[in-house]
Amino acid sequence: FKKNILVVIKDKNYNAPKITNTMELMLQDIQHSNSHIEEKITEINSSISSLDKRLDTAERRIGDAEDLIQNLETNVQQLQEDTFKLLDKTDDLENRSRRCNLRLVGLPEGVEGKDPVAFLEDWLPTFLNLPDMTDKPEIERVHHTFTLKPRDSERPRILLFIMLHFRDKELILQHARNSGPLRYKNKQVHIFPNMSTDLFQKRKSFKEFKCLCKDLEIPFALLYPARLRIDFKGQRLFF
């Protein structure tokens, strides 16, 4: 702007009114530009102010969301703990309801005949040689596992039976453990307590350790519900 004025002043043929008009036009352009810039600055300030408000709102919502998530995580953790406790109690109740149940594995299919209760009440004392049992063991109910009847070449179904007295059930298990391998009609037979699937898997996890204890001739016992007891170097250890 100054350079333009100097050029006009140095010009010998300059016209004062013309210069004045030119300067007025230039000032008007500058004022118009300043006004436009001020409007833009005002818009920018307004946008920044609006952005600040939105950021404050977003930060508040994020803080509320973090508090809510923390509360939810605490509630979920508590619910998980309660669920595990309820599952343990349910499993315990299921196993208590089976405390008089036994599983007979390997008995040839069909040898129990049409009256499996009478068959087992007569057969078990003789098969296990139970001198402590003066009377026949009282069996409440007998049934096969709920699977299709196997073919002759397939493994027989497991026979589940419910003892009327818990003492008789413990006596049968004790003699079954102390009698060594049990065989009937040249078939190996096993008698196990009946329990839930979860408890069965827990007890099954000790299988390798029990085999190792047998190989090393270390006395052990698998206690209910799933505790392994080992007698080693004068110490009794539980796992």
DSSP per-residue string spanning 185-236 = TTEEEEEEE---HHHHHHHHTTHHHHHHHHHTT--EEEETTTEEEEEETTEE
Q: Are strands 235-238 and 182-184 parallel, antiparallel or unpaired?
A: unpaired
Across the strands, what pairs with 237?
230
> Residue 182 and residue 172: Cα distance in Å, rounded?
13
Tokens of 131: 């001198």
In tens digits, the chain (239 residues) has pLDDT values of: 444 544 544 555 555 666 677 777 787 778 777 777 888 888 888 888 888 888 888 888 998 999 999 999 999 999 999 999 999 999 999 999 999 999 999 999 989 999 999 999 999 998 998 876 667 889 999 999 888 888 888 889 999 999 999 999 999 998 998 888 899 988 899 999 999 989 999 999 999 999 999 999 999 988 888 999 999 989 999 99
Q: Are strands 159-163 and 220-223 parallel, antiparallel or unpaired?
A: unpaired
Token pair 């080992």 in the structure block, residue: 230
Rounded to the nearest 5°, which phi and psi values hold at 42?
-60, -45
Tokens of 121: 């009440």
pLDDT of residue 13: 53
> Residue 177 and residue 192: Cα distance in Å, rounded?
9
pLDDT of residue 124: 92
pLDDT of residue 143: 92
What angle is formed at CA 214 by the lines to CA 210 and CA 218, rounded to 5 degrees? 95
Give the chain's end-to-end CA distance (angstroms, integer): 96
DSSP per-residue string spanning 103-159 = EEESPPTTTTTT-HHHHHHHHHHHHHT-TT--SPPPEEEEEE-SSPPP-TTSPPPPE
> Residue 49 and residue 41: Cα distance in Å, rounded?
12
Q: DSSP 3-state assignment of 163?
A: strand
Q: DSSP 3-state assignment of 23?
A: helix
